[in-house]
Amino acid sequence: MELTSRTTIHQLPVESFQQILSHLSLREIFACRAVCRLFKDALTCPFFLQQVALRTTLNWFVVHPSDRQKTCGPSPDSLLQVYDADSNSWVVFPLDFLPFTSAIPVAASAGLLYLWCESESGRSLVICNPFTRTFRVLPQLGSAWFRHGAVLSSGCHVLVFDKLAALYLAEGRLWSNVSSGLLSKPRSAVLVGSTVYALCDVGSAIGSQWKLVFCKLDELGSGRSWDRLEQQKWGEILDILHRPRLIRGKGESLLMVGGLKSSFTMSSVCSTIIILQLDLPTLEWDEAGRMPADFFECFQSWGKFKVFGMGDRVFFSGKGAGKLAMWDSSERGKGKWTWVSGVTERKDGLYRGFSFDARIHAVP
């Protein structure tokens, strides 16, 4: 075909049109799919997806309300908020392709989202790729898991924690019930390599006492219980934080976030929020970041707050805030603290979230 100054985009050969579109970034591809049917058909065909399959993934963060209210359904205005920290902007995913009355995002792995979904036939855990608008329903779980279960996923392996038990799914088979062997529910479980790490409260009604525990992912199905990860050289480092939470750090490291107690007494007030980093190969702790006074004053007035993130970045949402605080360790020193605006207004301002390594070619 001979191209002239009067040639329209509709007259371009399909191969030429797709070659032009292949130079777009993943973010631009997602935005262009909403332009018209021509763009949508070209950007969602198997050939085009295969051409961009090896493109570098995007490290986004899904942000959603902390309570388990209806977040999406069959209506065309069902949306999911995703924050792109690299460009300091928000991306909106339409979830109207999911045939459920409600869907709650809870985790992500290998470019796929995991959501608790509810329909007239029951409640299930659903895997989807919002790029390709495809999804798969996992075997159903009971109502107790839907309300309280915490999800951790790695490729074809899925873990759901609730109180003293866990459900384990591998290679799409049926769920296996695994006893945790712990005194309390594993909190803020994270996966580093093939090992699951979590916090466990071994205290009493008088006060909490936190311990770091771990278990190999491939050993959970065999019924092996968790082991404690502790060193004498650590001293009382886990006791200096109020309500500690784990976040996966960069490489082989863990981040532990919580309020820094002014003393070891049960009623001790917190002087700030601190981020500690554990290097897993050496088992050495180090202070990674400390919340500035002006940020901490806001969180003191809010009282309740949520923490989430991964790698270089940790996010904090506070009651009544209407925005997020973000710590970015990619900056020099102890990291940079900034405010992130743009989240949908909510009465309590509390949000949860998790890292989403978006991949256009991931198949549920």
Say what percent of the chain tops pLDDT 70: 71
Q: Closest Cα to residue 114, out of 73, 142, 155, 77?
A: 155
- Are 103 and 64 spatial neighbours (Cβ–Cβ below 8 Å)? no
Going from the C-alpha of 179 to that of each of 51, 124, 163, 202, the distances in angstroms are 44, 21, 10, 17
Inform me whether the pLDDT recorded for 20 exceeds 50: yes
Quickly list DSSP for 106-134: EEEETTEEEEEEEETTEEEEEEEETTTTE
Inform me whether the pLDDT recorded for 94 exceeds 50: yes
Task: Output the pLDDT for position 102.
Answer: 82
How far apart CA 268 and CA 270 sit, in angstroms, is: 7
How far apart CA 113 and CA 185 sit, in angstroms, is: 24
CATH, domain range 57-358: 2.120.10.80
Quickly list DSSP for 20-53: HHTTS-HHHHHHHTTT-HHHHHHHHSHHHHHHTT
pLDDT digits 0-9 by tens, 232-288: 888 778 888 888 899 999 889 999 998 887 765 555 677 888 999 999 999 999 999
Residue bearing tokens 């400390």 = 290
Parallel, antiparallel or unpaired: strands 227-228 and 176-179: unpaired
pLDDT band at 78 (very low <50, low <70, confident <90, very high): low
Rounded to an integer, the average pLDDT of 146-151 is: 66
Task: Output the pLDDT for position 248.
Answer: 92
DSSP annotation of 205: S
Parallel, antiparallel or unpaired: strands 351-358 and 336-340: unpaired
Which of residues 121 and 220 earns the better pLDDT score?
121
Q: Residue 55's CB: how many other CB atoms inside 10 A?
A: 15
pLDDT band at 75 (very low <50, low <70, confident <90, very high): very low
Residues whose CB is less than 8 angstroms from the CB of residue 82 and which lie 6 or more positions away in sequence, other chains included: 60, 61, 62, 63, 90, 91, 92, 93, 356, 358
Task: Output the pLDDT for position 15.
Answer: 72
Highest mean pLDDT among 40-54, 103-117, 147-161, 200-214: 103-117
pLDDT band at 338 (very low <50, low <70, confident <90, very high): very high
How far apart CA 110 and CA 206 sit, in angstroms, is: 41
Inform me whether the pLDDT recorded for 73 exceeds 50: no
Q: Residue 320's CB: how many other CB atoms inside 10 A?
A: 14
Residue ranges of the domains in the chain?
Answer: 11-56, 57-358
Task: Output the pLDDT for position 90.
Answer: 85
| Average pLDDT over all residues of the chain | 77
Sequence letter at residue 187: R
Task: Output the pLDDT for position 76.
Answer: 36
Parallel, antiparallel or unpaired: strands 253-261 and 241-248: antiparallel
Rounded to an integer, the average pLDDT of 304-327 is: 85
